[in-house]
Structure 1
Amino acid sequence: MTRSTTGVRRVLVVDASAVVRQDVSALLRDTGHCDVVVAANVAAARQRLRRAWPDVVLLGLEPPGDEALSLLREMVAASVPVVVGTRAASRKDTLVQEALCAGARDVLHWPRVGIRAWLEQQAEPLAALLLGATRRTPRAPPPPCAEKPRPPPPAPKSSRVWARQVVAVGASTGGPAALRSLMGALPANAPALLVVQHMSEPFAAAFAQGLAEACKMEVRRAMNGDRVRPGLALLAPGDQHLRLVLRPDGYAVELSSAPPVRHHRPSVDVLFHSVAEVAGPDAVGVLLTGMGDDGADGLAAMRRTGAATLAQDAATSVVYGMPRAAMLRGAAEQSLPLDSLPEAILNAASHRGPPPSDEEE
């Protein structure tokens, strides 16, 4: 089997829905950059794989999902990026979590009705996601999906505990893999993280569970009123804005069902603006891969208040939209490869706010 060596990407679309197969194929072919092959099930996909090796796979995932997950793991082991699409009504949390744990680059939630209209509306980001996923970007190995004991993480280079610093991270298209790589490289006592990933419920909850297994620090889906502290990463729910607030006993988070901002809820801009207002120079803002410009204005606000601001570079972004917007607006101080961001975050946080006291150490 061979892979494409030209500018044309070979895309394998595996889905039981004829509408998905036909419409996704049409929109990808319209880009002029794709050779699309379709299969109605995993068995047919394996037949296709004997003839040509794809550059990226769009894989439908429905209960029970065992065969699809098996194919997903095989593709990931062979360094073929896989984007999962699902309409599952049962076991969906478990299936999505297993897919993300197994190394899926991203998850698409097909609507149960009106999928053709949805595909027309989402044509541009969907094409960008699939075409961008073919880049050989650095990424962490997929975390284990089964619970098993892990050895204690190695001691971080510094014993510093960041008592007041807050790191705010925003991501969209291509973000799940980028976040696994970035957060998996941070130490257990990393500064507090607040994360907005454009991902609808229930996938956001499943994604948070998968990240928790991959990271040294504690990771969970944010709940209203959660305290913000070092060693804890809070992820925005898929249907609520996440804000940082200051209370007498320290930082906390506030969730809101306010209207979407620029079509997004949660919105990266909402998070970043709240961090700029509340934490000011004691913060670090990070904008990762994604379509559009959500987060660029908020990152600029953070920079104006003295926060350190970072953006993922073009070479390692699946879609260089949000980071590019930040760079064009002068919102990001640095544009860095994905694998350089963890160290940059720790270095930036160590220069924010007062040094920790002996009690904090």
Structure 2
Amino acid sequence: MSTRVLVVDDSALVREVLTEMISRAPDLEVVGVARDPYDAREKIKALNPDVLTLDVEMPRMDGLTFLDNLMRLRPMPVVMVSSLTERGADITLRALELGAIDFVTKPAVGVASGLREYTDQLRDKLRQAAGSRPRQRSVAAKASEVVVARAYRTTDQLICVGSSTGGTEALRVFLERMPPDAPAVVMTQHIPAAFSGSLAARLDGASPMRVCEARDGQPITPGHAYLAPGDRHLRVARSGARLVCRLDDEAPVSGHRPSVDVLFRSVAHACGRNAVGVMLTGMGSDGAQAMQELQQAGARTLAQDEASCVVWGMPGAAYRLGAVDKLVPLDDMAQAALNATRQDAIA
């Protein structure tokens, strides 16, 4: 049975190009197009699509307002089609907070030809979205209600995290539950270069830890979390007694740059049993093999359980390899990672 797609965009050209891109896949079917959210609302009722592509900037009602209403009243898988700009990045990350599953970017010029370059990516994301579990944004807890461990003590411990589809929100949930003096966290999330700085800033605002986009040669210290820049690999290396971030532009690994495999493999080498590996929601299998190498080096390994994942691709791949010590619901992952760093630590 084909996945039924509704294309929502105010541009007739974009609607035409997206319809062409999607319809040429035998397992995908564009059942309708809509020019604005009001039109989309009626088409959803009449056509009952499996997944939507949704533009951000549209007349009469913007895409974010429509998405917010949709996820409250009729949650369904949505893939955003957004511009690759700083403002586009902020809006897209907000859409992911509201419950969108994933996004593809459209260029500011040469829209038709630029979009066609993303044909395979768009089709894969629509397939994954159709089988995903839309997760509404949880209401942020009041500061007085957030229970955060204090006076944490660490001996050169490090937590490494990998994520992809659904990961921007999973990282927020994970980091907002970490204490300000937690062991250092290094993270690889599959995201375009134009988006990673905005994501790091959003995560910094949500977490008691200090969160930043990693810089080459930057010392890794407790209480800080470091996000791989989009389109650059992040590695952890030793510089004397210290751990530092190393960035490079080498070829994609497991189809990605940044790659979770690259990060996890470097942590296995630099930290061994002083590390904890965490695999969060994501499409594909990036990081699974290197998580097994982490485990073999003595690190504790945790993966998000299927029920709480948007897409149980990367965690599921690691689990099937036998590389996961424990499956953990997303809401419990921060505490599980902290508990794991307290086990068998080496000074």
TM-score over 0.5 for the pair: yes
Say if 2:101 and 2:310, in contact at 8 Å, map to a contact too. Answer: no
Corresponding residue to 2:80 among 60, 78, 84: 84
Most deviating of 108-117 and 302-311: 108-117
Say if 1:182 and 1:338, in contact at 8 Å, map to a contact too. Answer: yes
Q: CA deviation at 1:158?
A: 5.4
Q: CA deviation at 1:214?
A: 2.2
Say if 1:291 and 1:321, in contact at 8 Å, map to a contact too. Answer: yes
Corresponding residue to 2:53 among 54, 58, 67: 58
Alignment of 1:221-240 (within 5 A): 221-240=213-232
The match for 1:128 is 127
Mapped to 1, the partners of 2:317 and 2:97 lie a distance apart of 30
The match for 2:69 is 74
The match for 2:16 is 19
Q: Is 2:206 aligned against 1:209?
A: no
One-letter amino acid matched to 1:73: D
One-letter amino acid matched to 2:80: V
Say if 1:166 and 1:283, in contact at 8 Å, map to a contact too. Answer: yes
Corresponding residue to 1:218 among 210, 213, 235: 210
Q: Cα distance 1:117–1:354, how it changes in 2: closer, same or farther (>3 A)?
A: closer
Say if 1:272 and 1:302, in contact at 8 Å, map to a contact too. Answer: yes
Mapped to 1, the partners of 2:326 and 2:78 lie a distance apart of 30
Mapped to 2, the partners of 1:153 and 1:228 lie a distance apart of 30
Shift >6 Å, 4+ stretches = 7-10, 52-55, 63-66
How many residues of Structure 1 are paired with residues of Structure 2 in the alignment? 339
One-letter amino acid matched to 1:296: A
One-letter amino acid matched to 1:14: V
Q: Cα distance 1:10–1:315, how it changes in 2: closer, same or farther (>3 A)?
A: farther
Runs of 5+ unmatched residues, structure 2? none
One-letter amino acid matched to 1:236: A
One-letter amino acid matched to 2:8: V
Mapped to 1, the partners of 2:225 and 2:30 lie a distance apart of 40
Most deviating of 254-263 and 204-213: 204-213
Report the secondary structure of 1:196's partner residue: strand
Say if 1:240 and 1:265, in contact at 8 Å, map to a contact too. Answer: yes
- Measured on the aligned residues, the alpha-carbon RMSD in Å equals 3.1
Q: Cα distance 1:315–1:21, how it changes in 2: closer, same or farther (>3 A)?
A: same
- Among all aligned residue pairs of Structure 1 and Structure 2, give the percentage whose two residues are the same amino acid: 36
Report the secondary structure of 2:251's partner residue: coil
Mapped to 1, the partners of 2:343 and 2:129 lie a distance apart of 38
Say if 2:150 and 2:181, in contact at 8 Å, map to a contact too. Answer: no
One-letter amino acid matched to 2:315: P
One-letter amino acid matched to 1:67: D
Q: Is 2:38 aligned against 1:39?
A: no
The match for 1:359 is none
The match for 1:245 is 237
Runs of 5+ unmatched residues, structure 1? 1-6, 145-149, 356-361
- Which of the two has greater helix per residue? 2
One-letter amino acid matched to 2:286: D
Q: CA deviation at 1:160?
A: 2.0
When the two structures are superposed, what TM-score results if normalisation uses the length of structure 1? 0.81
Say if 1:96 and 1:206, in contact at 8 Å, map to a contact too. Answer: no
Corresponding residue to 1:93 among 89, 94, 98: 89
Q: CA deviation at 1:194?
A: 0.7
Q: Is 2:105 aligned against 1:106?
A: no
Q: Is 2:283 aligned against 1:288?
A: no
Mapped to 1, the partners of 2:90 and 2:57 lie a distance apart of 11
Most deviating of 198-207 and 331-340: 331-340
Q: Is 2:331 aligned against 1:339?
A: yes
One-letter amino acid matched to 2:70: M
Q: CA deviation at 1:197?
A: 0.7
Most deviating of 311-320 and 339-348: 311-320
Q: CA deviation at 1:43?
A: 3.6
Alignment of 1:155-234 (within 5 A): 156-157=148-149, 159-234=151-226
Mapped to 2, the partners of 1:65 and 1:246 lie a distance apart of 54
Q: CA deviation at 1:105?
A: 3.5
Mapped to 2, the partners of 1:21 and 1:42 lie a distance apart of 17
Mapped to 2, the partners of 1:186 and 1:83 lie a distance apart of 29
Residues 170-217 of structure 1: CA deviation (Å, up to 9, x unaligned): 111222222222222222222211110111121222222222222222
Report the secondary structure of 2:179's partner residue: coil
Report the secondary structure of 2:116's partner residue: helix
Say if 1:25 and 1:36, in contact at 8 Å, map to a contact too. Answer: no
Say if 1:140 and 1:181, in contact at 8 Å, map to a contact too. Answer: no
The match for 1:305 is 297
When the two structures are superposed, what TM-score results if normalisation uses the length of structure 2? 0.84
Q: Cα distance 1:320–1:314, how it changes in 2: closer, same or farther (>3 A)?
A: same
Alignment of 1:252-331 (within 5 A): 252-331=244-323
Report the secondary structure of 1:252's partner residue: strand
